[in-house]
Amino acid sequence: MTTARDIMTAQPECVATDDSLALAAQQMRRLKVGALPICGPDQKIKGVLTDRDIVVRGLGTGKDPGQTNSGSFNDGEAVTVGADDPIDELLNVMIDHKVKRLPVIDGSKLVGMVSIADVARNLPQPDVGQLVEALSLD
């Protein structure tokens, strides 16, 4: 049985809730990623910040990226999947919550991230097609 742990990108870096959007954007550039998990001082996942969030919800609404905290982009409880959860569950979570990137936790500890690209590289085409189709609606 394939699990989230089998296809995730391990050891993701977090952006802290009190880090600025500018710092988060620099971190994304350095890591060559389009999203970072947002972690609180307790090192627990609070959400996910995307490059689109920075541009559309930050810059697009006139927020100063040097003065706006990444934590202000938390949208409630973070959507996550367990590291040992089966792929079917991972796909259902991504589809149900319409997310292209999903933090992977072991207990409450962040251990990885799964993106739509990870799914495409590791799963059969019908599974990938179902996910892409579901996330492309709206």
10-residue stretch averages of pLDDT, the chain, 138 residues long: 92 94 97 93 89 93 94 84 94 90 92 89 68 62
Helices (H) and strands (E) in the chain, counts: 6, 7
Mapped onto helix, strand or coil, the DSSP state of residue 77 is coil
pLDDT of residue 118: 87
pLDDT of residue 121: 82
CA distance 46 to 52: 18
pTM across the whole model? 0.85
CATH number at residue 33: 3.10.580.10
Distance of CA 56 to the CA centre of its chain: 17
- Joined together, the tokens standing for residue 98 give 């319409």
Tell me how many domains the chain contains.
Answer: 1
- Domain coverage including residue 29: 4-136
pLDDT of residue 132: 63
pLDDT of residue 135: 62
pLDDT of residue 105: 95
Cα end-to-end distance, the chain, whole Å: 32
pLDDT of residue 136: 63
pLDDT of residue 134: 64
